[in-house]
Amino acid sequence: MQEGFAIRQAEIEIFGHRGASGHFPENTLIAFQETRIAGANGIELDVQMSKDRQLIVMHDETIDRTTNGSGYIKDMTYEILKALDAGSWFHSSFSNEKIITLDEVLEWATGEGNHLTINIELKNDQIFYDGLEEAVLNLVQQYHLEDRVIISSFNPKSLQKVRSLHKTIDIGYLIEGKPPDTVEIAKQIGANAIHCQEVFALSEKGQTARAEGLLLRVYTVNDTNAIERLKHAEVSVIMTDYPAEFVKSSAKKKDNRKTQGV
Protein backbone atom coordinates (compact mmCIF):
# COMPACT_ATOMS: atom_id res chain seq x y z
CA MET A 1 0.00 0.00 0.00
CA GLN A 2 1.31 3.45 -0.92
CA GLU A 3 2.31 5.71 1.95
CA GLY A 4 -0.36 8.32 2.66
CA PHE A 5 -2.91 6.33 0.68
CA ALA A 6 -5.71 6.51 3.22
CA ILE A 7 -5.72 10.28 3.58
CA ARG A 8 -6.63 10.66 -0.06
CA GLN A 9 -9.76 8.52 0.35
CA ALA A 10 -13.16 10.11 0.78
CA GLU A 11 -14.22 9.98 4.43
CA ILE A 12 -15.63 6.62 5.39
CA GLU A 13 -19.38 6.76 6.08
CA ILE A 14 -20.98 5.46 9.26
CA PHE A 15 -24.34 3.66 9.26
CA GLY A 16 -26.23 2.57 12.37
CA HIS A 17 -26.73 -1.20 12.09
CA ARG A 18 -30.43 -1.80 12.88
CA GLY A 19 -30.15 1.81 14.05
CA ALA A 20 -28.07 2.64 17.12
CA SER A 21 -28.78 -0.89 18.32
CA GLY A 22 -25.97 -1.02 20.86
CA HIS A 23 -27.79 1.43 23.13
CA PHE A 24 -31.41 1.27 21.88
CA PRO A 25 -33.77 -1.55 20.87
CA GLU A 26 -32.86 -2.59 17.31
CA ASN A 27 -35.00 -1.61 14.31
CA THR A 28 -37.20 0.80 16.28
CA LEU A 29 -37.82 4.47 15.60
CA ILE A 30 -35.79 5.59 18.60
CA ALA A 31 -32.79 3.56 17.37
CA PHE A 32 -33.02 5.33 13.99
CA GLN A 33 -33.59 8.78 15.51
CA GLU A 34 -30.55 8.35 17.74
CA THR A 35 -28.43 7.36 14.73
CA ARG A 36 -29.35 10.67 13.14
CA ILE A 37 -28.67 12.61 16.35
CA ALA A 38 -25.24 10.94 16.48
CA GLY A 39 -24.40 12.56 13.14
CA ALA A 40 -24.11 9.30 11.23
CA ASN A 41 -24.59 9.07 7.47
CA GLY A 42 -27.16 6.32 7.31
CA ILE A 43 -29.17 3.54 8.88
CA GLU A 44 -29.40 -0.15 8.06
CA LEU A 45 -32.70 -1.92 8.69
CA ASP A 46 -34.26 -5.31 7.96
CA VAL A 47 -37.61 -5.89 6.27
CA GLN A 48 -40.03 -8.82 6.60
CA MET A 49 -43.63 -9.10 5.37
CA SER A 50 -46.79 -9.62 7.45
CA LYS A 51 -49.79 -11.77 6.56
CA ASP A 52 -51.56 -8.66 5.20
CA ARG A 53 -48.46 -7.75 3.17
CA GLN A 54 -47.27 -4.84 5.31
CA LEU A 55 -43.50 -4.24 5.27
CA ILE A 56 -42.37 -4.87 8.82
CA VAL A 57 -39.02 -3.61 10.08
CA MET A 58 -37.57 -6.52 12.03
CA HIS A 59 -34.46 -8.67 11.86
CA ASP A 60 -35.87 -12.08 12.79
CA GLU A 61 -38.61 -13.98 10.96
CA THR A 62 -40.38 -14.38 14.31
CA ILE A 63 -41.28 -11.75 16.88
CA ASP A 64 -40.13 -13.87 19.83
CA ARG A 65 -36.72 -12.32 20.54
CA THR A 66 -37.54 -8.61 20.21
CA THR A 67 -41.16 -8.27 21.36
CA ASN A 68 -43.47 -9.56 24.07
CA GLY A 69 -45.28 -11.74 21.50
CA SER A 70 -44.56 -15.03 19.78
CA GLY A 71 -44.88 -16.43 16.26
CA TYR A 72 -43.97 -15.78 12.65
CA ILE A 73 -44.48 -12.31 11.13
CA LYS A 74 -45.80 -13.94 7.95
CA ASP A 75 -48.70 -15.39 9.97
CA MET A 76 -49.75 -12.13 11.67
CA THR A 77 -51.53 -8.99 10.60
CA TYR A 78 -50.06 -5.56 11.21
CA GLU A 79 -53.02 -4.82 13.48
CA ILE A 80 -51.80 -7.53 15.87
CA LEU A 81 -48.11 -6.66 15.47
CA LYS A 82 -48.45 -2.95 16.16
CA ALA A 83 -49.98 -3.58 19.57
CA LEU A 84 -46.84 -5.34 20.81
CA ASP A 85 -44.06 -3.95 22.98
CA ALA A 86 -40.83 -3.91 20.96
CA GLY A 87 -38.60 -2.27 23.56
CA SER A 88 -38.87 -3.94 26.97
CA TRP A 89 -36.80 -6.96 25.89
CA PHE A 90 -33.88 -4.50 25.63
CA HIS A 91 -34.63 -2.40 28.72
CA SER A 92 -37.79 -1.60 30.69
CA SER A 93 -37.35 2.11 29.87
CA PHE A 94 -38.20 1.37 26.22
CA SER A 95 -41.59 -0.24 26.85
CA ASN A 96 -43.30 2.34 24.61
CA GLU A 97 -41.39 1.32 21.49
CA LYS A 98 -43.57 -0.31 18.85
CA ILE A 99 -42.85 -2.42 15.80
CA ILE A 100 -42.66 -0.04 12.87
CA THR A 101 -43.32 -0.41 9.16
CA LEU A 102 -41.00 0.59 6.33
CA ASP A 103 -43.64 3.16 5.39
CA GLU A 104 -43.23 4.85 8.78
CA VAL A 105 -39.43 4.86 8.50
CA LEU A 106 -39.50 6.38 5.01
CA GLU A 107 -41.99 9.00 6.11
CA TRP A 108 -39.63 9.95 8.95
CA ALA A 109 -36.66 9.89 6.52
CA THR A 110 -38.34 12.46 4.28
CA GLY A 111 -38.83 14.87 7.19
CA GLU A 112 -37.13 18.26 7.09
CA GLY A 113 -33.36 18.17 7.38
CA ASN A 114 -33.17 14.40 7.29
CA HIS A 115 -30.59 13.34 4.70
CA LEU A 116 -29.75 9.87 5.97
CA THR A 117 -29.07 7.05 3.55
CA ILE A 118 -31.46 4.17 4.16
CA ASN A 119 -30.05 0.67 3.64
CA ILE A 120 -33.04 -1.64 3.33
CA GLU A 121 -32.08 -5.29 3.78
CA LEU A 122 -34.65 -7.62 2.25
CA LYS A 123 -34.96 -10.56 4.64
CA ASN A 124 -36.04 -13.05 2.03
CA ASP A 125 -33.25 -15.56 2.43
CA GLN A 126 -35.04 -17.71 5.06
CA ILE A 127 -38.68 -17.23 3.98
CA PHE A 128 -39.81 -16.49 0.44
CA TYR A 129 -41.98 -13.38 0.64
CA ASP A 130 -43.69 -13.22 -2.73
CA GLY A 131 -43.62 -9.67 -4.12
CA LEU A 132 -41.32 -8.25 -1.43
CA GLU A 133 -39.06 -6.59 -4.03
CA GLU A 134 -41.95 -4.86 -5.83
CA ALA A 135 -43.54 -3.73 -2.58
CA VAL A 136 -40.30 -2.18 -1.27
CA LEU A 137 -39.47 -0.48 -4.58
CA ASN A 138 -43.00 0.92 -4.92
CA LEU A 139 -42.79 2.46 -1.48
CA VAL A 140 -39.31 3.90 -2.11
CA GLN A 141 -40.57 5.47 -5.34
CA GLN A 142 -43.69 6.77 -3.63
CA TYR A 143 -41.43 8.74 -1.26
CA HIS A 144 -39.03 9.73 -4.10
CA LEU A 145 -36.16 8.21 -2.14
CA GLU A 146 -34.53 6.24 -4.97
CA ASP A 147 -31.30 8.27 -4.62
CA ARG A 148 -31.03 7.82 -0.86
CA VAL A 149 -31.81 4.12 -0.63
CA ILE A 150 -29.58 1.05 -0.83
CA ILE A 151 -31.24 -2.34 -1.29
CA SER A 152 -29.31 -5.33 0.03
CA SER A 153 -29.95 -9.04 0.54
CA PHE A 154 -28.20 -12.35 1.09
CA ASN A 155 -30.45 -13.69 -1.70
CA PRO A 156 -28.86 -12.93 -5.11
CA LYS A 157 -32.03 -13.92 -7.01
CA SER A 158 -33.98 -11.30 -5.13
CA LEU A 159 -31.39 -8.63 -5.96
CA GLN A 160 -31.43 -9.65 -9.60
CA LYS A 161 -35.17 -9.06 -9.51
CA VAL A 162 -34.66 -5.63 -7.96
CA ARG A 163 -32.21 -4.75 -10.75
CA SER A 164 -34.68 -5.90 -13.40
CA LEU A 165 -37.30 -3.62 -11.83
CA HIS A 166 -35.01 -0.61 -11.36
CA LYS A 167 -31.99 0.14 -13.53
CA THR A 168 -30.15 2.57 -11.26
CA ILE A 169 -31.04 1.91 -7.63
CA ASP A 170 -28.03 1.14 -5.41
CA ILE A 171 -27.77 -2.62 -4.79
CA GLY A 172 -25.48 -4.29 -2.26
CA TYR A 173 -24.88 -8.05 -2.45
CA LEU A 174 -24.66 -9.36 1.11
CA ILE A 175 -22.21 -12.11 1.93
CA GLU A 176 -20.89 -13.80 5.03
CA GLY A 177 -17.20 -14.71 5.22
CA LYS A 178 -15.38 -15.22 1.93
CA PRO A 179 -17.61 -17.28 -0.36
CA PRO A 180 -16.21 -18.19 -3.80
CA ASP A 181 -17.37 -16.31 -6.92
CA THR A 182 -18.61 -13.30 -4.92
CA VAL A 183 -17.37 -10.72 -7.41
CA GLU A 184 -18.72 -12.68 -10.39
CA ILE A 185 -22.15 -13.10 -8.78
CA ALA A 186 -22.31 -9.45 -7.74
CA LYS A 187 -21.58 -8.33 -11.30
CA GLN A 188 -23.93 -10.88 -12.82
CA ILE A 189 -26.90 -9.72 -10.74
CA GLY A 190 -26.19 -6.04 -11.35
CA ALA A 191 -25.05 -5.14 -7.84
CA ASN A 192 -22.77 -2.11 -7.48
CA ALA A 193 -21.56 -2.96 -3.98
CA ILE A 194 -20.65 -5.89 -1.76
CA HIS A 195 -21.86 -5.81 1.83
CA CYS A 196 -19.38 -7.96 3.66
CA GLN A 197 -17.55 -8.57 6.89
CA GLU A 198 -14.05 -7.31 7.65
CA VAL A 199 -12.56 -10.68 6.74
CA PHE A 200 -13.62 -10.19 3.11
CA ALA A 201 -12.87 -6.47 2.86
CA LEU A 202 -9.31 -6.92 4.12
CA SER A 203 -8.60 -9.93 1.90
CA GLU A 204 -7.34 -10.17 -1.66
CA LYS A 205 -10.92 -10.89 -2.71
CA GLY A 206 -11.97 -7.54 -1.29
CA GLN A 207 -9.26 -5.79 -3.25
CA THR A 208 -10.31 -7.63 -6.42
CA ALA A 209 -13.85 -6.39 -5.84
CA ARG A 210 -12.55 -2.82 -5.54
CA ALA A 211 -10.46 -3.22 -8.68
CA GLU A 212 -13.60 -4.36 -10.48
CA GLY A 213 -15.32 -1.14 -9.43
CA LEU A 214 -17.52 -2.59 -6.68
CA LEU A 215 -17.97 -0.63 -3.47
CA LEU A 216 -17.34 -2.33 -0.15
CA ARG A 217 -19.64 -1.73 2.81
CA VAL A 218 -18.73 -3.61 5.96
CA TYR A 219 -20.95 -5.01 8.75
CA THR A 220 -21.00 -5.27 11.76
CA VAL A 221 -17.99 -3.42 13.15
CA ASN A 222 -18.06 -2.43 16.82
CA ASP A 223 -14.39 -1.72 17.53
CA THR A 224 -13.38 1.80 16.49
CA ASN A 225 -9.77 0.63 15.99
CA ALA A 226 -10.98 -0.95 12.75
CA ILE A 227 -11.67 2.43 11.12
CA GLU A 228 -8.12 3.04 9.92
CA ARG A 229 -7.55 -0.42 8.46
CA LEU A 230 -10.92 -0.32 6.69
CA LYS A 231 -10.05 3.07 5.22
CA HIS A 232 -6.85 1.59 3.85
CA ALA A 233 -8.92 -1.16 2.24
CA GLU A 234 -11.02 1.56 0.53
CA VAL A 235 -14.19 0.61 2.37
CA SER A 236 -17.01 3.13 1.76
CA VAL A 237 -19.29 2.40 4.71
CA ILE A 238 -18.97 0.90 8.18
CA MET A 239 -22.18 -0.46 9.68
CA THR A 240 -22.01 -0.43 13.45
CA ASP A 241 -24.27 -0.89 16.46
CA TYR A 242 -22.50 2.17 17.99
CA PRO A 243 -22.76 5.00 15.43
CA ALA A 244 -22.19 7.79 18.02
CA GLU A 245 -18.87 6.28 19.10
CA PHE A 246 -17.78 5.77 15.48
CA VAL A 247 -18.73 9.30 14.40
CA LYS A 248 -16.78 10.71 17.35
CA SER A 249 -13.76 8.55 16.68
CA SER A 250 -13.72 9.43 12.96
CA ALA A 251 -13.93 13.16 13.77
CA LYS A 252 -11.07 12.87 16.26
CA LYS A 253 -8.89 11.13 13.67
CA LYS A 254 -9.70 13.84 11.13
CA ASP A 255 -8.71 16.54 13.67
CA ASN A 256 -5.42 14.75 14.38
CA ARG A 257 -4.63 14.66 10.68
CA LYS A 258 -5.39 18.40 10.38
CA THR A 259 -3.14 19.17 13.37
CA GLN A 260 -0.35 17.19 11.74
CA GLY A 261 -0.90 19.15 8.52
CA VAL A 262 -1.81 16.14 6.37
Binding site for ligand G3P (CB under 6 A): 17, 44, 46, 59, 121, 152, 174, 195, 219, 239
Cβ closest to ligand G3P, residue 197 vs residue 203: 197
Residue 73 binds which entry of ligand G3P, Mg ion, none, CB below 5-8 Å type-dependent: none
Q: Tell whether residue 234 is a contact of Mg ion (CB under 5 A).
A: no
With respect to ligand G3P, which residue has the nearer C-beta, 121 or 245?
121
Q: Report in angstroms how near the CB of residue 46 gets to Mg ion at its nearest.
A: 4
Q: Select from 46-54, 106-114, 193-201, 251-259 the region that touches Mg ion (CB under 5 A).
A: 46-54
Q: What are residue 104's phi and psi, to 5 degrees?
A: -65, -40
Least distance (Å) between residue 200 CB and ligand G3P: 12
What is the nearest approach in angstroms of Mg ion to the Cβ of residue 218? 13
CB nearer to ligand G3P: give 27 or 50. Answer: 27
Question: How far apart are the C-alpha atoms of 261 and 137, rounded to whole Å?
Answer: 45
Residue nearest to Mg ion (CB): 121
Active site residue 17: yes
Residue 152 contact partner, candidates Mg ion, ligand G3P, none, CB within 5 to 8 A by sort of partner: ligand G3P
CB-wise, 6 or 246, nearer to ligand G3P? 246
Q: Does position 46 bind Mg ion by CB under 5 A?
A: yes
Are 73 and 58 in contact, with CB atoms under 8 Å apart? yes
Distances (CA, A) of 153 to 33, 80, 124, 140, 227: 24, 27, 7, 16, 24
CB of 195 to ligand G3P, least distance (A): 5
Report the candidate in 260, 254, 55 with the shortest Cα–Cα distance to residue 139.
55
| Residues from 120 through 149 that contact Mg ion (CB under 5 A) | 121
Q: Is 241 in the site for Mg ion (CB under 5 A)?
A: no
Q: At its nearest, how many Å lie between ligand G3P and the CB of residue 69?
A: 20
Residue with CB nearest ligand G3P? 219
Query: Which active-site residues does the annotation give?
Result: 17, 59
